[in-house]
Amino acid sequence: MSATAGSTPRLGRVGAWMGIVFAPLFIVGTFISPSPKDSSSTQEWARLFTSSSHRTAAIVGAYLAVFGLLAFLWFASRLRSRLGDGGGMMLTFGSVFAALGMVANLVFAAIAGAKAFTSAPVPPGAFAQQFNSLGGGILVVPGALAAGVFVAIASYLSRREGALPGWLTIAGYVVAVLQLAAVVFIPLLLVPIWVLVVSIVMLRREAGTGAAAST
């Protein structure tokens, strides 16, 4: 019995740490993907992927973002275990967000990866520009909306179950609503920041639970 009781706080701490891992990996991985200074210039888009450093940045960024989103799934699964009815729906939308985020970042890195791993020719600048826009559209429209629903449900259930402080659930509602305006990447940045704060709160509470269980 003591081993089982002790394993629950440890699993909770791992899940919380995964949320902390997700935030920087997702933000850095997505932002490290290169883009020209003049994003409207097809000539600059054509030159972008002829640079080995830019190709490396795009590939590394995709790996970081994907690892971060896998960590997010672990975090979301652990948060779901702390909540009651409705947690499954929250996890579903979290999984949709993670899947769309992975697809978007793989699109960002597709041209760089093709050039680096298969020696494929760099496509025309207009194609590279449109391909990048496709990845951005996937991330900031359906991806952001799925993330917003995840945060909204998580905030509602956490408030109902008393799993998170009231101020943090209210902040979650604000973050969720702002995803409706996510035609740029900035509102989506609030999601990993919210997850980061939630993870820190979870760690503190798990630490308190573990201390109480040991006495």
Q: Which amino acid is at 72?
A: F
Q: What is the 3-class SS of the chain, one letter each residue?
A: CHHHHHHHHHHHHHHHHHHHHHHHHHHHHHHCCCCCCCCCCHHHHHHHCCCHHHHHHHHHHHHHHHHHHHHHHHHHHHHHHHCCCCHHHHHHHHHHHHHHHHHHHHHHHHHHHHHHHHCCCCCCHHHHHHHHHHHHHHHHHHHHHHHHHHHHHHHHHHHHHCCCCHHHHHHHHHHHHHHHHCCCCHHHHHHHHHHHHHHHHHHHHHHHHHHHHHC
Decide: 43 and 125 in contact? Cβ < 8 Å: yes
Average of pLDDT values for 20-45? 87
> How many domains does the structure of the chain reveal?
1
Indicate the pLDDT class of residue 190, thresholds 50, 70 and 90.
very high
pTM: 0.88
Indicate the pLDDT class of residue 53, thresholds 50, 70 and 90.
confident
pLDDT tens-digit readout, 93-151: 999 999 999 999 999 999 889 888 887 888 888 888 888 889 989 999 999 999 999 99
Q: 60 lies in which domain range?
A: 2-214
- pLDDT score recorded for residue 44: 86
In this model, does residue 197 exceed pLDDT 50?
yes
- pLDDT score recorded for residue 210: 53
In this model, does residue 162 exceed pLDDT 80?
yes
204's tokens? 């503190």
- pLDDT score recorded for residue 17: 94
